[in-house]
Amino acid sequence: MAAQVRQWRTGTVGAAVVTVLGLTLTACGGAKVGDDSAGSGSPGKCGTFNLAVNPWVGYEADAAVVAYVAQKDLGCTVKKKDLKEEIAWQGFGTGEVDTVLENWGHDDLKKKYITQQKTAVSAGSTGNKGIIGWYVPPWLAKAHPDITDWKNLNKYASEFRTSESGGKGQLLDGDPSYVTNDAALVTNLKLDFKVVYAGSETALIQSFRKAEKNREWVIGYFYEPQWFLSEVPLVKVNLPAYTTGCDADAAKIACDYPVYDLDKIVSVKFAKSGSPAYRLVKNFTWTNDDQNTVAKYIAVDKMSPEAAAKKWVEANRDKVDAWLK
Amino acid sequence: MAVALEKSAPVAGVRRVGRRTVVAAILAAWLLLFVVLRGKQTLTLAAADLTDLHRWFNDVNDSIGADRNSNPLFLYFFNEIRLVIDNLVTFVQHLISQPPAGRPVPQIGWLGVVGIAGYVSWAVGNWRVALLAVAGFTFLGLQGLWQESMDTLSLTLSAVLVALLFAIPLGVGAGLSERFNRIVTPFLDFMQTMPTFVYLAPLTLFFLIGGASATIATVIYAAPPAIRITAHAIRSVPETTVEAAESLGATRRQALLKVLLPMSKRTVVMGVNQSIMAALAMVTIAALIDAPGLGKTVVQALQSLDVGTAFNAGLAIVVMAIVLDRVTTAAGAREETARRSKNRLLTWRRPLLGVGAVVTAVLVYLSHTYVWAAEFPGEGSIGGSIASAADTVTAWVQDNLSGLTNAFRDGITNGLLNPLQTLLTDSPWWLVGAVLIALGAVLGGWRAGVTTAVCVGLLVGTGLWSDAMTTLASTLVATVLVMLLGIVLGVWMGRSMLVDRLLRPSLDAAQVMPPFVYLVPFLALFGATRFTAIVAAVVYAVPVAIKIIADGVRAVPGTTVEAAVSAGCNTWQIITKVQLPMSCGALTLATNQGLIYVLSMVVVGGLVGAGALGYDVVAGFSQGQLYGKGLAAGLAIVLLGVMFDRITQAAARRASA
């Protein structure tokens, strides 16, 4: 018995040695690591470019395109960092983040990091118009066209009731980092609704997707530009029109959200560095449609961000060239 | 003896009946007062409102951020720690996951890593786990996730290494001194129940964005189990052995190094195992502060609701966890097995180990030098198939079950959750507080009563009383569901080895699979509601309850069961009259663990519509001006956890006494 075990063991060892030898021999023909290290384009004077990527697909589209251009045309080493807004802004001061590409208002962060700590500056508009508001699924807008006027919302309040809304209509809000006045709006517009916090963008999108598919009643917070709108074109509900200053007192807001001019924020150090990546960021502008296209490549067609950026850049060379001037 | 038994039995009976009546009386009084005082002094706070405490937390946070470049504490303390840990992480990453400067691939490619994994598993365990390790690691590559997996592995290894550096000495200390143990325990409780979201933002403030912060976040979560288990291991070395060593003239130091540590080695390895599992549980959370690896894939896939991709990455985490778990478990058991087996194999072991080392070295060399051995070959098409299969299954479940699930959800929500929540949130705070203290004292004794009183006081102090009560209602409902499922499946598993063998792997998977992966399907089934959060918590908490109950049922002596069978009991009677009553201790422990696990999911619940404390914590992580409130909410979750842990533990001690 013992002899058998021993024999078997030596057998395995022999086999292993032979296999390894075989591998070594065949490997002699294989490509060696470092053989093709010449690569594409040596890293230029750009150096490292730290790009924060905030967690929504539209931003990912911005970042994909900027990173692709910085890498291919300027020879930068791009380091993408997946971070929430607050943490990304924190990184300006420590030199770990050079750029935030899509800032939605966030006056609190601007005050803290631009005015007080003086670690960041704005690098101008991205060209994207940020629209925030209340949306309903398309089937609902078609079945009840008058629902897009806020004055009629109370009429339908009972239809929007859920297990979470305590007898009132449910107004679904999403991720806590969204800019939102919804609780004040419901009170000040005397709506028979309750704001229910879904807690994440994922939850919000899934709710709308399901509502359109099963013809359910849902009204909730949403925004453009957003890839999901190319899957389900949600319809915006008109709130009392925005006028300058109508949102001055947070508790008394009774008007729609302003149209946000989305802008780019860079660290002071990066702005002064003279890096070609800074010029690229400063010049970068595109439209909501541009962003939605790339976002759709990523989210719906499941392309990698690099592949999506490549596809868009190749089709829009003229726009890209303008950023590089 | 018989006389004593006869005497004590009726006394115990009276006491138990007495306790039940008291509990019923407390609850009746609560209901009565609720009807009268409903809606008064409920301490509600709107989502955007802050208290002075929250603002104070904000100010502290801001002032730290503002002078982090001039503060000597930063320059000479935090920055140094950061540097050391960052270097460690980068070093491991350059070895196996990230290309160092001047090389297109890491130092050791996939063939080398697979070789090392197999060799180490064989050396510390046995050839069966070595095979499992090789198969598991190869599978990761076939999934198309080689680099991500290696990033996760390097972060896990670094974190566990750092954690053990502190955990083993602390654990030995806690094992040797009861007083030290009593000092450390509350800190360990705190580290394990404080939601990670709460300290992610401050960690990046102290240790910057990147590997160091992610590792430290993981260490905080992964160290406590190792400390506890090491302490337990030291404590369970028989006193007589230590005394014998001391009578032979061993010094304290010698007794520790030559007797206590070697004798508790096996259990300490279990601590390492638990530490690794906890570290892997942090993978997705750490991805939120840019930790590289599988967690990032999960989080990114979730942004576009890509369940398939998220599942594929989640599965890779599960595979890695299973491999690491089995290897460390085998390592813990190896010496014992070796001692039992014949010496002849042992004489062969050394030369074999030598040969293995040479083979591994060759593999490492190959993977260092040749591209085919460095980069995992193929497109990872298995990963694609797994992703699309997961998508198909999810779509089918969503399309076909959502009618059923809505009815179930509404039933539980309207029948159980809403009434309980109303009772808790609409009663005056002092009434609920008094009821909690009274229940704590009656069920757990006066010590538990005092703990409850302190916790209630502090909960009011956090300014989030109403949110805490909402969370409490969901937690209780989830725990009830956990116990129902736990008893049914646990008894079934405890009574049949076959069921055990079939169920256990899926229980392991449910514990390690990141909850982020199943949130999307659950959202489709149940909508963004408190109930979705409850279901997610149940999935996470039920495996541990099932395992504990199954063990309890199995521990009931076979002779007792046989006696009951011969007395003519049917299966139902055996379960209800013999097995369940006799595993009472296990049931209480399962309730305790179930509750703690449910509480640890409160934050994840906040992402899918549970609101309350979970939402506060997530909001604090997302928005600067809510930071203090998020911190307070995290503290409130810890307080709820401590309160229930102490009450149920004291109750368990009474039940088993």
SS3 per-residue string spanning B177-239:
CHHHHHHHHHHHHHHHHCCHHHHHHHHHHHHCCCHHHHHHHHHHHHHHHHHHHHHHHHHCCCH
pTM as predicted: 0.85
Is B469 inside any structural domain? Answer: yes
Count of CA atoms in the C-beta half-sphere (13 A) of A55: 27
> Residue B485: inside a domain, yes or no?
yes
Measured at the CA of B428, the angle between CA B423 and CA B430, to 5 degrees, comes to: 115
- The burial class, CB within 10 Å (0-12 / 13-18 / 19+), for B559 is exposed
With contact defined as beta carbons under 8 Å apart, do B605 and B474 qualify? yes
Which single residue is written with the structure tokens 């800019």? A179
**Percent of chain A's residues with pLDDT above 90:** 25
Report d(CA B68, CA B52) in Å as an integer. 24
pLDDT digits (tens, 9 = 90+) for B346-399: 677 788 888 888 888 888 888 888 878 878 887 778 888 888 898 888 888 888
| Closest CA relative to residue A104, chosen from A173, A58, A171, A70 | A58
Indicate whether B306 pLDDT > 80.
yes
**B650 in a structural domain:** yes
Q: What is the mean pLDDT of residues B632-654?
A: 86
| The predicted structure's pLDDT at residue B468 | 92
Q: Which residue, among A311, A308, A290, has the nearest Cα to A299 in the 3D structure?
A: A308
Give the closest-approach CA distance of B278 to chain A in angstroms.
Answer: 23
Identify the CA nearest to A188 among candidates A246, A131, A130, A144: A246
User: Half-sphere exposure (CA, 13 Å, Cβ side) for A104?
Assistant: 22
Looking at the DSSP assignment, which residues form a beta bridge with residue A219? A171
Nearest to A198 among B288, B374, B528 (CB): B528
- Three-state DSSP class for A133? strand
Q: Is residue B246 part of a domain?
A: no
Assess whether the region A7-128+260-323 and the region A130-258 belong to the same CATH fold: yes
Question: What is the reported pLDDT for B556?
Answer: 82
What's the pLDDT band for A24 if we cut at 50, 70, 90?
low
pLDDT of residue B656: 65
Average pLDDT over residues B171-184: 89
Please give the pLDDT value at position B604.
86
The whole domain housing B30 covers: 15-44+401-657
Range 8-67 of B in CB contact (< 8 A) with A: 46-48, 62, 65-66
Whether A90 sits inside 8 A of B65 (CB atoms) is yes
d(CA A68, CA B436): 59
**In the structure, what pLDDT confidence band is assigned to residue A26 with cuts at 50, 70 and 90?**
low
Gap between the Cα atoms of B337 and B331, Å rounded:
10
Contact between residue B119 and residue B359 where contact means Cβ atoms under 8 Å apart: yes
Nearest 5°: phi and psi at A135?
-130, 150
- As a whole-number percent, the residues of chain B with pLDDT over 70 amount to 94
User: Does B486 map to a domain?
Assistant: yes
Cα torsion A79, A84, A86, A87: sign: negative
Angle at A246 between CA A111 and CA A156, to 5 degrees: 115
CATH class of A130-258: alpha beta
Kindly state whether residue B280 falls inside one of the protein's structural domains.
no
Strand A169-173 to A219-224 pairing: parallel
- 222-261 in chain B: CB under 8 A from chain A: none
> Which of B201, B520, B618 is opposite residue A206, by nearest beta carbon?
B520
Query: Smallest Cβ distance to B201: which of A86, A97, A214?
Result: A86
Residue B291: exposure state from Cβ atoms within 10 A (0-12, 13-18, ≥19): buried
Residues paired with residue A221 on neighbouring β-strands, in sequence order: A134
Closest CA–CA distance from residue A122 to any residue of chain B (Å) = 19
pLDDT score, position B2? 40
- Give kind and range of the element (H or E) at residue A261: strand A260-267
User: Is A32's CB within 8 Å of B374's CB?
Assistant: no
Give B83-114 as a DSSP string.
HHHHHHHHHHHHHHTSPPTT-SS-SS-HHHHH
Residue B23 tokens read as 């509990």
**DSSP codes joined into one string, B487-533:** HHHHHHHHH-HHHHHHHHHHHHHHHHS-HHHHHHHHHHHH-SSHHHH
Residues 520-539 on B with a CB inside 8 Å of A are 520, 523-524, 527-531
Q: How far is A87 from chain B (nearest CA, A)?
A: 7
pLDDT tens-digit profile of A178-211? Answer: 778 888 899 899 999 999 888 888 889 989 998 9
Tokens of B41: 């002094």
DSSP single-letter state for residue A235: E
- Label residue A39 left, alpha or beta by phi (over 0 means left) and psi (-120 to 50 means alpha): left
Find the residue in A nearest to B66 (Cα).
A117
Chain B: residue whose CA lies nearest to A228: B304
pLDDT tops 60 at residue A14: no
For chain A, say whether B82 makes contact (Cβ under 8 Å).
Answer: no
Are the beta carbons of A33 and B304 separated by less than 8 Å? Answer: no
Element (H, E) at A308: helix A305-315
- The whole-angstrom separation of Cα A68 and Cα A274 is 20
The predicted model gives B156-181 an average pLDDT of: 91
B617: closest chain A residue by CA: A176
**Distance (Å) from the C-alpha of residue A298 to the closest C-alpha of chain B?**
8
Q: pLDDT tens digits for A250-287?
A: 788 889 988 888 999 999 989 888 888 999 999 999 99
Q: Are B37 and B431 in contact (CB under 8 A)?
A: yes
Distance from CA of A322 to the nearest CA of B (A): 31
Q: Are B248 and B254 in contact (CB under 8 A)?
A: no
Residue with tokens 């911190």: B631
* Interface test mutation site (partner B, options A104, A163, A269, A306, max chain B beta carbons within 10 A): A163
> Chain-wide mean pLDDT for chain A?
83
> Which residue of A lies nearest to B365 if distances are taken between CA atoms?
A24
For residue B2, CA distances in Å to A247, B5, B214 come to 81, 5, 61
Q: What's residue A309's pLDDT?
A: 93
Does residue B407 have a pLDDT over 80?
yes
> Residue A43 above 60 pLDDT?
no
Whole-angstrom Cα distance, residue B614 to residue B195? 9
Q: Is residue B411 part of a domain?
A: yes
| Cβ-based burial of B605 (10 A; exposed 0-12, middle 13-18, buried ≥19) | buried
Mark out the alpha helices in B288-342 (DSSP H runs). 294-303, 307-340
How many Cα atoms are found within 13 Å in the side-chain-facing hemisphere of B327? 25
Contacts of A164 in chain B (CB under 8 A): 528-530, 609, 611
Query: What residues of chain B, 347 to 366, have a C-beta less than 8 Å from chain A?
Result: 348, 352, 355-356, 359, 362-363, 366
Q: What is the mean pLDDT of chain B?
A: 84
**What is the mean pLDDT of the segment spanning B28-42?**
81
What is the crossing angle of helices A57-72 and A276-283, to 10°?
Answer: 140
What is the rounded CA–CA span in Å between residue B618 and residue A199? 8
B340 burial (CB, 10 Å; 0-12 / 13-18 / 19+) is exposed
pLDDT at A2 over 50: no
> Of residues B348 and A141, which shows the higher confidence score?
A141
Averaged pLDDT for residues B203-230: 87
How far is the C-alpha of A221 from the C-alpha of A237, rounded, in Å?
A: 10
Which tokens sit at B354? Answer: 């030598």
Compute the distance between CA of residue B148 and CA of residue B97 in angstroms, rounded to an integer.
Answer: 8
pLDDT tens digits along B308-322? 899 999 999 999 999
Coil, helix or strand for B291? coil
CATH code for the domain of B501:
1.10.3720.10
pLDDT digits (tens, 9 = 90+) for B417-467: 888 988 888 888 888 899 999 988 888 888 889 989 999 999 988 888 989
Q: Which amino acid is at B28?
A: A
What is the count of structural domains for chain B?
1
Say if B97 falls within a structural domain. Answer: no
Task: Please state, in angstroms and rounded to a whole number, the distance separating the CA atoms of residues B301 and B387.
Answer: 11
At the fourth CATH level, the homologous superfamily of domain A7-128+260-323 is Periplasmic binding protein-like II (3.40.190.10)
Residue B647 pLDDT > 50 = yes
Containing B247, the helix (H) or strand (E) segment is: helix B239-247
Residues of chain B found within 8 Å of residue A214, distances taken between Cβ atoms = 402
> A120 has which bridge partners?
A267
